[in-house]
Amino acid sequence: DGGITQSPKYLFRKEGQNVTLSCEQNLNHDAMYWYRQDPGQGLRLIYYSQIVNDFQKGDIAEGYSVSREKKESFPLTVTSAQKNPTAFYLCASSIYAESGNTIYFGEGSWLTVV
Amino acid sequence: AQSVTQLDSHVSVSEGTPVLLRCNYSSSYSPSLFWYVQHPNKGLQLLLKYTSAATLVKGINGFEAEFKKSETSFHLTKPSAHMSDAAEYFCVVSDPRDDKIIFGKGTRLHILP
């Protein structure tokens, strides 16, 4: 079955540590996205990529970095510069159609600072 | 610029009664509109989408939504609520001319026994 796989499901970060969240898709989608969701709040866009080796900052990119070396993969690194990283992180991908993009989501990853 | 407003942050209904989750949008072009559902600690699942075909769109799990251009609305309905419908619901607008995808802030649906 095609889909989006995020790992790990739960991750703990120590102060000053960088951590990387994995996102892999086998849907052959060109665009991929990272969103952050805080409890009781909506989704905020961190980074997105429309094509391999290219990505753009979203609304809250500070303290995060990404890479897009392969079409299938879009890992997110939460750096020590991100002062409040505890949140639920959602990876997504979308396929372009003339009628508009449809976005599909992974199951999410919980990041907690300890 | 596009925007989407979910008019209720929380909705409570009794099991077996109708569900109405309200969404209004703003777009200078014919938008694509979506509803997603999120259960606790899960990703978002696509319920249904409108892409300028039929204005009444049927989705999964008995949900449907009607696109009303004159009211700039895309409300989500279900005739009879089930306990398993308790979740967060997001209305989403997408402009087919670019890659911008705008999420509403979500509506938490509570089902009362």
Selecting from B43, B96, B104 the residue whose C-beta is nearest the C-beta of A99 gives: B96
Kindly state whether A101 is in contact with chain B, defined as any CB-CB distance less than 8 angstroms.
yes
Q: Which two three-digit tokens encode residue B66?
A: 């009607």
- pLDDT category at B99 given cuts 50, 70, 90 is low
Residues in CB range of B98: below 8 A, 6 or more apart? none
CA distance A102 to chain B (A): 8
DSSP B85: G
Range A3-27 average pLDDT: 94
From CA A4, how far away is CA A8, in angstroms rounded? 13
Q: Which two three-digit tokens encode residue A91?
A: 């990876």
pLDDT tens digits for range A65-97 = 999 999 999 999 999 888 899 999 999 999 877
Instruction: For B89, name the nearest residue in chain A, comparing CA atoms only.
Output: A42
Answer whether B36 sits within 8 Å of A104, measured CB to CB: no
- At A99 the pLDDT is 67
Q: For residues B82-99, b (16+ Cβ closer than 10 Å) or e, as one string?
A: eeebbbbbbbbbbbbeeb
Q: Is the pLDDT assigned to residue A35 strictly greater than 80?
A: yes
The C-alpha angle A88, A50, A23, rounded to 5 degrees, equals 35
Kindly state whether A11 is in contact with chain B, defined as any CB-CB distance less than 8 angstroms.
no
Best of B74, B99, B105, B108 to disrupt the A interface (most A CBs within 10 Å) is: B99
- At B95 the pLDDT is 75
Q: For residues A81-102, b (16+ Cβ closer than 10 Å) or e, as one string?
A: ebeebebbbbbbbbeeeeebbb
Q: Is the pLDDT assigned to residue B25 strictly greater than 90?
A: yes
Contact (Cβ atoms closer than 8 angstroms) between residue B103 and residue A42: yes
- At A83 the pLDDT is 85
Residues of B in contact with A106 (CB under 8 A): 43
Higher pLDDT, B20 or A99: B20
**Amino acid (1-letter code) at residue A56:** Q
Kindly state whether A58 is in contact with chain B, defined as any CB-CB distance less than 8 angstroms.
no
